Structure 1
């Protein structure tokens, strides 16, 4: 690993990002027309017992209830939530949207444009006529949109969908995978193949997106050992290897096909203790470049007939890992804010750590500033040497792409000998410098692109990047540097 030491640290400032989850209007699942039905475990949707809810939600989740109160109006959902976060004492200078409510990309283009336009307008205060105009004004807004995450399925993550999402200002995708087994995908009526999952990961990463996978342990006809094996495959097979994971153990909910199987004794959930064991074993497998965003759904417990019985599953799994002598080294567990809150631990000796791996047809480099002694993560950068199959014109030829830059804390060194040492140089800038060096000297790239949230484009302009399509791009060989 390439290592650079920074020195003793104090005075920690966290990047405060307000996460605003919004929901699109209820609509039928797109694969009903192909398979004749929805997935066996899926609650919600316009035809379900939970009438006014979106597909795969019950209408009783906090985000669902806020959306229903706003009658699914994207502008009102955003304004209400931002105001609410402000009143709770959160900083709302930087906002990240999560677009929930089933497969957003299956909705008509006109509705999607209306929805995204209103998200940007709710932050900028401008009334736009189209998405491009909304994005332009959002760029200059005092409340910055630092990213948009969109939930989708592998069959709605094709080239045209990815290009649309880039134009929206989206930077991260949450793709419903659920299982890496073809027989399970077929038996649960997923409506797509596992091969489609691998292809969607490849296309998405080659377009610069961060990829978060939704996975469901405890599906019918799988069993404990096969569940563990699928996560080993998921993290070690280069055809998968996601950047993030949302772990959603299977829930039995009234009105689903799975409920009928459970009622007639043809499906049985793991016991609470076995489920904690399984989640503990899964978390021990997570590589240090993957972030586990969630460990269970936020569906209210009274609506769950069988499945997860505890609201603090992650906490129980981490406690079980201590007993087992294993540890979770995912991004979230190690990030500086979490470490300070839970363990009162602050970084002392910070180094630049580099991890390289192959994933989805490309060469990935995970750069991070860490305190290796205490295993604390301060900032990270995901760099990719795109595969030759990259479909975006801006990324063709010798181009590398930064898929994520995130600094969890800015650390200022205390050094009487050299007080100015780090005063004007942040970790983000140093990570970008190293990414430029690797792209030029090792990848042999002529240009470096960044998939940037609309509101963070000016940060990259200060580093010499210019807008090219939806990306911020810099020529690595200036005049006379060939």
Structure 2
């Protein structure tokens, strides 16, 4: 991938990778005021602690220009940097998603986890030597969400001995069973890579991957199941070929699947399909038609509320907020004793809300503020929480300070005063 090639050119030096990329974007005419890091490829948390600290410290230092002695110092300077770190995503596995790993990642300024799940079937996880059980997957989702992380699952349809119907069924289970219900999804259909056990199975005809048409069908059926609070981050670009040995036409799998869905009369209502594009903001959004929409669901022993500002008629999403009432088992001291947490706040572009009803009220308030106010109200009046915490990108902390939040551990926190409570 281009990212891997850039990493190799920079000799995997995190500082140089970051500086080079920021400079390159500036030369292309982008203003680089916000940066999101994704630490991918391999299990970062399995590396030695001193190397991880060095790596994360350098990511933050590359933005702030400060030379830090440790992660905590790097994060402090990164908070004030002109180029803001709005989030860090770390790829991990259920066995590197235990409390100590989660606490380390909170210290790094990490806000989103990508967890390699691959399959929700115990027998499949066993056959593919994943080394973790399905129970470990549920456990890692629970711990991660209770610490405020967004959870993106990597799923791999078309593994051996599963078959189309069972592949579809596992996604129904994945989205409907409260023990799973990820915030996001990456779909990577199985790739047969030379030199693997799967390659041997494929060569001898014991493993047959789906035909391209069946794969497009499968992805179309999966996308139709995705709930409106889940974001499909990516579908593997190309139709996977056993090493391109069956000479099939390439194409963007997501686009092919969406086209197939049109024919089938189904639609994909995930976050990404509906989020407003930067270009569309000015000509598509009709601020007068925008409504606050609320969807509540249970996931991983917690009450989740997905709040969004949408134009329901066009099915366009302008901003979203994920609020969770932490389950009593939350292991973070900051989140014990009746605390709710905002796990994500994202507003697309700078749409200025208009209210015909009370023009004075909304004038100086963006959708982000309005979403936060509603989250505070739900946390206070419905959850009965005494505090609202936010997992915030390091560079976004000052935004929350302006709203009366202060840093407590890795979280931005605000006390909620309930009328009638002392």
| Same fold per superposition (TM over 0.5) | yes
Query: In 2, are the aligned partners of 1:244 and 1:291 still within 8 Å (CA)?
Result: yes
The whole-number CA distance in structure 1 between the counterparts of 2:108 and 2:251 is 34
Cα distance change of structure 1 residues 345 and 440 upon mapping to structure 2, 3 Å threshold: closer
Query: Partners of 2:377 and 2:234 in 1: how far apart?
Result: 34
Give the 3 Å change call, closer, same or farther, for CA 196–204 of structure 1 in structure 2. Answer: same
* Change beyond 3 A, Cα 1:306–1:170: farther
Q: 1:414 to 1:177 in 2, by over 3 A?
A: closer
Superposed displacement of residue 339, structure 1: 8.5
Segments of structure 1 that go 5 or more residues without pairing to the other structure are 1-60
What is the CA deviation profile of residues 390-446 of structure 1, one whole-angstrom value per residue up to 9, with x for unaligned ones? 000000001000000000133235789976553310000000000000001000100
Q: How far did 1:344 drift?
A: 5.8
- For residues 86-118 of structure 1, what are the alpha-carbon distances to aligned partners after superposition, in whole Å with 9 as ceiling and x for unaligned? 222333100000001210000000000000000
Q: Verify the 8 A CA contact 2:45 2:101 in the aligned structure 1.
A: yes
Taking structure 1 as the reference length, what is the TM-score of the superposition? 0.83
Aligned length: 422
Deviation at 1:317, TM superposition (A): 0.4
Task: Give the secondary structure class of the aligned counterpart of 1:348.
Answer: helix
CA positional deviation for 1:475:
0.4
**What per-residue deviation string (whole Å, max 9, x for no partner) do you get for residues 122-150 of structure 1?**
00001100000000000000000000000
| Contact kept in structure 2, 1:386 and 1:401, CA below 8 Å | yes
Q: Note the C-alpha offset of 1:205.
A: 0.1
What SS class does the counterpart of residue 302 from structure 1 fall into? Answer: coil
CA displacement at 1:385 relative to structure 2: 0.4
Whichever structure has more helix as a proportion of its residues is 2
Shift of the alpha carbon at 1:338? 7.1
Going from structure 1 to structure 2, the CA distance change for 1:304 and 1:450 (only over 3 Å counts) comes to farther
Is 2:264 the counterpart of 1:324?
yes
User: What is the aligned partner in structure 2 of residue 359 from structure 1?
Assistant: 299
Post-superposition CA distance 1:143-183 (Å, at most 9, x none): 00000000000000000000000000000000000000000
How far 1:82 moved relative to its partner?
A: 1.4
Q: Quick one: structure 1 residues 325 and 453, their matched pair in 2 at CA, closer, same or farther if it must change by over 3 Å? A: same
Assess if the C-alpha contact under 8 Å between 2:189 and 2:240 holds in 1.
Answer: no
SS at match of 1:166: helix
- 8 Å CA contact 2:388, 2:415 repeated in 1: yes
* 2:220 matches 1:265: no
- Conserved in 2, the CA contact under 8 Å of 1:124 and 1:137? yes
Greater relative contact order (CA < 8 Å, ≥ 6 in sequence)? 1
Normalising by the residue count of structure 2, what TM-score does the alignment of the two structures yield?
A: 0.95
